[in-house]
Amino acid sequence: MKILITGSKGQLGRTLIKLKPTKAKIFAMNRNNFNMLDIPNCLKVIRSINPDWIVNCGAFTNVDLAESNKEVAMEVNYHAPKAFAKEMKDLGGRFLQISTDYVFDGLRPNMKPYTTNDKKSPLGIYGISKAKAEDFIEDIFLGTNKGIILRTSWILAPFGSNFLLKILNLLLKNKEIKVVNDQIGSPTNIYSLAEVCWKIIELNNLEIIFNENKNGILHWQDNGQTNWYEIALKIRNFGKEIDLINYNTQVTPISTFDYPTPAKRPAFSVLDCNSAKRVLDHKGIDWRCGLEKIMKQIHLDKNNKFYINPNYKI
């Protein structure tokens, strides 16, 4: 089975490769050999490989920068996956699009988790670009059971650019840090997300996904609701417990109003993952357990730089 992974040097791409099944032959695509701003060349690569699956992890994920770089964000997050999906439809292959909670506005009156059937209403360019990609993938693969959309959020990993590593670095350098406490969501540890991707790919019958949602949409997060402030507290407290950090930095809650950003964030972005749990027969784990699992792999060198052992085992 040939699997083409875009964004192979990103958090999910790296983890997918780390966890790959024995029978999977990986074609790892990154900016050097698969620049998503050069769509014609990407299509040539896809045709030459003729993969069974494309897992589209590649994306313009800086939500604030997307506001001032609309054309690039739209090219990478919408036009590129649109072209890749069309090519895979023509080749008869399957397509897994990694999407986001940012396709919703977070203005949930009843604070109930978003289901896969809820209407999309993105707030900013990043969410708009990902929502448009979803729309095209739903349409192009309609009736084929070959195009899957997997939404996730708040990814935490022991490498790359994410909230966990940013907080760890702030804890090392400051006596006090301020963290937003009025954005409600659920973190997703990168190993859990990669495992779910492989479970989708290895399903004998993808039709069961479409029986749950006619457009082939699934949600995945770790279990439990929280906010960024609570996550930061957990990082500090568990970091001290495992001797990753030694400072008792004060973590102070603030409101979104007190921390303005170019892009608006959804105030509530909990996703209902029950259909994915049924389809994949996968219960998931509590977000705290996922965070601890990641933090146990992180080390601090003598120069106060965090790193992960390249030979780490999951």
Which sequence positions are flagged as catalytic? 126
Q: Annotate 219-239 with b (16+ C-beta within 10 A) or e (fewer).
A: bbbbbbebbbbbbbbbbbebb
Strand ranges across the sheet with 25-28: 25-28, 2-6, 53-56, 94-100, 147-152, 217-219
φ/ψ region of 114 (left if φ > 0, alpha if ψ in -120 to 50, else beta) reads beta
Are 197 and 276 a contacting pair, CB within 8 Å?
Answer: no
How close are the terminal C-alpha atoms of the chain, in Å? 23
Cα–Cα distance measured from residue 27 to residue 118, given in angstroms and rounded to the nearest whole number: 34
DSSP state of 143: T
Tokens of 246: 């030694």
d(CA 135, CA 44): 24
